[in-house]
């Protein structure tokens, strides 16, 4: 959820200055601006002192209610090293080279100063993983299209193909961490790509933090799957059919969509996949919330549009994982027909955010 850590995920914005000055201003800004344009990430990820742990809180809530349960009182700050392996995979889509983390042998949750990440995010090579993930051909890692006017069936296929490998790796179904990228993702990695096709999936997930001695790549693979599911329900990533328009409230004082007290969005099939290029800064509003969330209390997520559905579908995937359900025995159908189902009035991708959300033709 950097496009905006900038949440893609459920966004960070930095003022266009040197990396040192940029870092010093990081805690006082909500947007990164380069050449007059806002740079967005996704549902927010937890970067200590900068952004909230939206993605992580959603995942914790899903695990608490699952067949592979975390203790009910688990919160972001109490995650243990084993649980953090899922979170490292969850964060990976936003930080695919692991620049937000310190390369430590003993700790898997030690955050870096973020300056290296910001440099890569703002001025890195277009062919690098960070730019590809947030602005290029790998935007499907955030349930988004790689460009405007992309066929939704192409976007969906890109996601399903990636998720198949990651889920199979998570449960140990004919995919291993040692498998080469070129073997598993021949359309994404080549001899000249960054990284190249001869890199292993394990090294892909470890990135710039190869020293950690207890890395659990299958758990990271599951976390990666959860990120994609969560982002697919984030307003700004997709436009989904609103099933309960009667619960919409008047827009807030800044013109953002919201729901009546005690109500929350109930979202259906995808009408439009969005793309980051030319998207307005409204995207970042929907990627997080200043209100405190308690993972064991799902009602504390109600004010973030899409969060409840993202948690529910994440929990269902975790249940498949817990039962080691094979891909072909229900997992693929769950993703294809439930999570990423396309609406009968599905459109080509665009750079809108909330312009059509809750309108008569996108509701009911």
- Domain ranges across the chain: 81-282+301-362
Measure the N-to-C terminal CA separation of the chain; round to a whole number of Å. Answer: 26
Contact, 27 vs 49, CB < 8 A? Answer: yes
Give the per-residue pLDDT at 51. Answer: 55
Give the per-residue pLDDT at 139. Answer: 97
Using pLDDT thresholds of 50, 70 and 90, give the confidence band for residue 287.
confident
Distance CA 106, CA 66 (A): 28
Whether 34 has a pLDDT exceeding 70, the answer reads no
Using pLDDT thresholds of 50, 70 and 90, give the confidence band for residue 277.
confident
Distance CA 231, CA 9 (A): 6
3-class DSSP state for residue 102?
A: coil
Whether 162 has a pLDDT exceeding 70, the answer reads yes
pTM across the whole model = 0.89
Contact, 229 vs 347, CB < 8 A? Answer: no
Give the per-residue pLDDT at 234. Answer: 96
């Amino acid at each position: 959820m950097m496009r905006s850590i900038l949440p893609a995920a459920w966004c960070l914005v930095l003022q266009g200055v040197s990396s040192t000055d940029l870092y010093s201003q990081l805690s006082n800004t909500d947007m990164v601006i380069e050449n007059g344009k806002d740079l967005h990430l996704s549902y927010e990820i937890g970067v200590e002192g900068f952004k909230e742990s939206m993605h992580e809180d959603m995942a914790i809530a899903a695990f608490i209610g699952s067949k592979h349960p975390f203790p009910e009182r688990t919160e972001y700050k109490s995650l243990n090293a084993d649980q953090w392996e899922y979170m490292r995979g969850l964060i990976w889509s936003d930080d695919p080279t692991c620049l937000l983390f310190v390369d430590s042998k003993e700790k898997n949750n030690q955050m870096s100063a973020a300056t290296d990440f910001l440099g890569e995010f703002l001025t890195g090579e277009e062919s690098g993983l960070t730019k590809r993930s947030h602005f290029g051909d790998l935007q499907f890692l955030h349930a988004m299209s790689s460009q405007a006017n992309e066929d939704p069936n192409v976007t969906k296929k890109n996601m399903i193909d990636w998720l198949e490998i990651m889920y199979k790796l998570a449960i140990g179904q004919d995919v291993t961490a040692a498998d080469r990228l070129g073997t598993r993702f021949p359309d994404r990695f080549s001899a000249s790509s960054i990284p190249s096709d001869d890199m292993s999936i394990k090294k892909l997930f470890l990135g710039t933090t190869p020293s950690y001695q207890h890395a659990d790549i299958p758990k990271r693979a599951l976390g990666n799957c959860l990120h994609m599911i969560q982002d697919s329900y984030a307003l700004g990533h997709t436009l989904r059919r609103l099933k309960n328009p009667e619960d919409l409230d008047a827009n807030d004082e800044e013109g953002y969509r919201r729901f009546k007290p005690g109500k929350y969005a109930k979202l259906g099939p995808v009408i439009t996949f969005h793309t980051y290029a030319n998207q307005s800064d409204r995207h970042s509003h929907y990627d997080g919330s200043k209100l405190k969330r308690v993972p064991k209390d799902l009602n504390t997520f109600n004010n973030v549009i899409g969060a409840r559905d993202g948690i529910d579908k994440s929990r269902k995937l975790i249940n498949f994982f817990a039962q080691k359900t094979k891909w072909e025995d229900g997992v693929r159908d769950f993703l294809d027909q439930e999570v990423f189902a396309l609406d009968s009035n599905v459109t080509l991708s665009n750079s809108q955010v909330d312009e059509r959300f809750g309108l008569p033709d996108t509701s009911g």
